[in-house]
A and B are shown apart, each in its own frame.
Chain A
Amino acid sequence: MTSTSSDLPIAYVPGRTRPTQTPEQLRARIPGWGVDLDPADRPSVPKLQFQEDLSGAHWEFPDRQPEKWPRERSVEHAFLTPVFGTAQPPKGLSGAIRKYAYRYSEGRAAHWLLLMFADRVDAGEHHLSSLLTLRPDNPITETGVLSEFTHHGLRSRVGVKRTDLVHQSLDPVIVAGPWLIGGWLAFRGVRRAVRALRG
């Protein structure tokens, strides 16, 4: 028993192609349709293409930028790259964790997990030390949350189907959580100290 192939979805038979508009129809509807049809016109085809002019580089190997402190680097590099960023040198406890993390290659989970952990420590260190400055961290201005009032926070959310609202409700917890926990621990610490003094 055979069915006529035209009854069947194209996946099940050999020769049918997808029904689409003709190139003329597409060209009429879409500006520029097909101008890069030829792969030769696509700039990243083939993937590897020797750049004869070295894209403007007038060196075989670049001059080396001075290293002003022992710059942390991936152990998968043969040496410190000739050029590197000098923003935010490692400092404090987070800096020590970061330097330690760079002992592990990028192939090791320890490398990345330590760096993620150091990021959280870094945030904690800076939040605490900001309290001793004239400009303590301000969760209201720094989260930009006031834009909820100027940029239709409510109207952008009600009556529309969006799946991100469920987890957006977690955001305040994530932002405020460390503050609340920190405050609670500080409160307990002070209470305990007061009791001990009285005690």
Chain B
Amino acid sequence: MRAMVYRGPYKMRVEEKHKPTIEHPNDAIVRVTLAAICGSDLHLYHGLMPDTRIGHTFGHEFIGVVDEVGSSVQNLKPGDRVMVPFNIFCGSCWYCARGLYSNCHNVNPNATAVGGIYGYSHTTGGYDGGQAEFVRVPFADVGPVLIPDWMHDEDAVLLTDATPTGYFGAQCGDIVQGDTVVVFGAGPVGLVAAQSSWLMGAGRVIVVDHLEYRLEKARSFAHAETLNFTDYGDIVLELKRQTDWLGADVAIDAVGAEADGNLLQHVTTAKFKLQGGSPVALNWAIDSVRKGATVSVMGAYGPIFSAVKFGDAMNKGLTLRMNQCPVKRQWPRLFEHVRNGHLTPREIVTHRFPLEHIAEGYHVFSAKLDGCIKPLVVPTAA
């Protein structure tokens, strides 16, 4: 089969690889019909995630058709069209039993601090991902769900990560009616977080980024106010000024490890890999919210330490909430929101790259060229 293969930081190619096989009785093999590139993939692409091996196939956002099932699979059969959450999870460990699917303890031998994720290095379990023609899907009776007839394929693929993560980000903000919510980052996750904040009753939603074309999307797609942080010498101060010197009630970090805005932080992280993440946006969130506020962190950081302003968070009595999103737990409610038009995932898709051109897709998304917000990947045989 054809598959994207990592060749080192900033480099990848498409190779002929062995088709995955059933390795466990509850495995399925899924033929991928549509995949996407996520902001999280950029951390792998830039060589920031420890134990990203040469030859690894990325991709944790995909939908497809069941090709083969293992002997104990009861809920799926070949030919079923399925959407697969980015989390690999067993359903039965202490964590899964309590709904923390993203923290499953039975699927990632390499680390206990993170669960299993498709195509996301060995630190999340060493599974090849879905930017390929076929992918191994463990626990086929637990993770995947049949794509409802009414659902558009592009909505389905966004529901495997970006959309639930943005929505989960707003939930972790514990928004109450009338709250002022600041979202850092106008990528797919931040845009959905802004849109979802309204569903939870926000009174004001402000999105911060430095890419004007994405802020434009935040205004039209998420009905948000926007601030371009390059317009202000000090974005923290500006946010205080704009919130009557109180600060926002809730901040959502939808940026993560490769934040811009402080060259030293960025370069020590993204270029020289000296810290687990450049917490520029997280520090702006901590410093700009009001005391007693909640900061929800959806942005991903590596396992090495990061220079976070923890003293300010403590002194301000902040609540910090965060996790990888437990995707499947969001689905029943999110399916309703998509069906009712309250959430409109596929409106953020800007590019569709054939699998054979995936290296261009990563470059365009990483360098933020051509108005790119969300690139999809279309496998050869799809």
Contacts and interface: CB of A to CB of B under 8 A. Distances in A.
Interface of A: 9-12, 17-18, 20-21, 23, 26, 29-37, 39, 41-45, 47-51, 54-63, 65-66, 71-74, 76-77, 80-88, 94, 98, 102, 106, 109, 112-113, 115-116, 118-120, 122-123, 125-127, 137-139, 141-148, 150-153, 156, 160-164, 166-168, 170-171, 174-175
B96 A41 contact: no
Nearest to B266: A167
Given A33-B201, A141-B359, A11 B244 contact: yes
Nearest to B243: A18
Nearest to A86: B23
Contact of B92 (A10, A17, A47, A54): A54
A175 B98 CA distance: 44
A118 B51 contact: yes
Given A152-B370, A175-B9, A146 B360 contact: yes
B333 A83 contact: no
B355 interface: no
Contacts of B100: 47-48
B210 A142 contact: no
B244 to A, nearest CB: 5
B263 A166 contact: yes
A56 B359 contact: no
B51 A123 contact: no
A79 B8 CA distance: 31
Given A34-B201, A36-B200, A51-B98, A87 B127 contact: yes
A114 B234 CA distance: 37
Interface stretch (B59-67, B153-161, B281-289, B334-342): B334-342
B346 interface: no
A153 B368 CA distance: 9
B112 A156 contact: no
Interface residues of B, number: 120
Nearest to B262: A163
Pick from A88, A141, A156, A168 the residue with the most CB of B within 10 Å. A88
Interface string B299-340: 000111100000000000000000000101110111001001
Interface of A is mostly: loop
A110 B267 CA distance: 22
B19 interface: no
20 contacts: A11-B290, A18-B203, A26-B203, A31-B341, A32-B198, A32-B343, A34-B177, A43-B333, A57-B141, A62-B92, A84-B108, A84-B125, A85-B127, A102-B110, A123-B7, A126-B55, A139-B11, A162-B211, A162-B368, A167-B266
B82 to A, nearest CB: 13
A14 to B, nearest CB: 13
B163 interface: no
A164 B10 contact: no
A58 B125 contact: no
Pick from B105, B141, B343 the residue with the most CB of A within 10 Å. B141
Nearest to A139: B11
A49 B204 CA distance: 30
B362 A144 contact: yes
B52 A119 contact: yes
9 A-B pairs with the lowest CB-CB distances in the bound complex, closest first: A32-B342, A57-B91, A85-B126, A20-B203, A144-B363, A144-B359, A123-B8, A85-B127, A73-B109
A126 B8 contact: yes
Nearest to A53: B91
Contact of B270 (A34, A156, A167): A167
A179 B266 CA distance: 24
A76 B108 CA distance: 11
B47 interface: yes
